[in-house]
Amino acid sequence: MNRSKLNKLFSLIRWEFMRNLRFPILEFIFVSAVYSIVSGLLNISSVLNVDIKGIGVLIYNIFAVEFIFRLGLCFVSKYDLIIAVYSLLASISFAGEIASGNMRLLLSYPLKRRDIFFIKCLCLFFIPYTIYLGVSLFFLLLMGQDIILYLSWYKFIIALFILFIESLYVFSISVAVSLLLQNTMASFLSTLLILYGLEKISFVLPSSIKIFVPPENLRIYVFYVLGRVFPSQYNSTLLFYSFINMLVLSLLLLFASYLYFVRVYEVCRRG
């Protein structure tokens, strides 16, 4: 890749940052991350009841596991905020720029559509994800001072992976809806309705189907991987498949959005 192309890509990244991180969008992402994580970590309710002779370093490990479990659970239970963050970003960056004509200007630059799509997606996806990661680490270190040495970083990475899958799923739907509707408000509201609707429907579904619907499958997964007890009514193999299905569905939606943006989307509509 030559130097001038790299410069163009960097200026595109800078453009994306300036457009999408303006007041109050970045503040909203920070507020949602702080609220999700602090409220989750405040309610550590693990109790250990042991004989005095049974006290050992293991007790610290038990509380360290509880901390990571709570963190994973707050990523999943504050799913609504993640929906709001990603649908807002995707509708501003894709639908908003198409509606305002900025996309036309962007596509007139000597950059391939493929590069524009990838950079937009990378910036939009990783900005909230990195903020959530930073805020989680900050509050985990602050609130778990006593057990910080005993934290399982391997489980912390699993919690982050669950957040990654959840964010990717929400993000892929948000991008697809934004490209389809090409109107900021309409795409924002539609994404919210679709994802909230799916979430609410999952509450009334039988457990055999519920296992395939986010964020219920992620909640079960948090209990399974980070928690202590695996709910007996669920099958662990099915849970694994539901996890893979979610990943594949997200990637397929992103690929379809990519194909639409690169091959189908017309800047000047004829008619």
Q: Which residues bind other proteins (CB under 8 A)?
A: 23-24, 26-27, 30-31, 34-35, 38-39, 42-52, 55-57, 59-60, 63, 66, 142-143, 145-147
**CA-closest candidate to residue 175, choices 227, 252, 241, 244:** 252
Report d(CA 180, CA 176) in Å as an integer.
Answer: 6
103 or 226: CB nearest other proteins? 226
41 or 175: CB nearest other proteins? 41
CB of 58 to other proteins, least distance (A): 10
Q: Count CA atoms within 13 Å of residue 143 on its CB side.
A: 21
28 or 241: CB nearest other proteins? 28
CB of 201 to other proteins, least distance (A): 28
First to last CA, the chain: 39
Q: Count CA atoms within 13 Å of residue 144 on its CB side.
A: 30
The contacts of residue 135 (CB under 8 Å, 6+ apart) are: 30, 33, 34, 37
40 or 214: CB nearest other proteins? 40
Q: What residue has token string 């457009």? A: 19
CB of 65 to other proteins, least distance (A): 12
Q: At what angle do helices 25-42 and 58-77 cross, to 10 degrees?
A: 140
Q: Decide: 168 and 253 in contact? Cβ < 8 Å.
A: no
Report d(CA 25, CA 85) in Å as an integer.
Answer: 9
49 or 108: CB nearest other proteins? 49
78 or 210: CB nearest other proteins? 78
CB of 24 to other proteins, least distance (A): 8
The contacts of residue 216 (CB under 8 Å, 6+ apart) are: 199, 202, 203, 205, 210
Report d(CA 114, CA 107) in Å as an integer.
Answer: 11
55 or 122: CB nearest other proteins? 55
CB of 142 to other proteins, least distance (A): 7
CB of 23 to other proteins, least distance (A): 7
CB of 11 to other proteins, least distance (A): 18
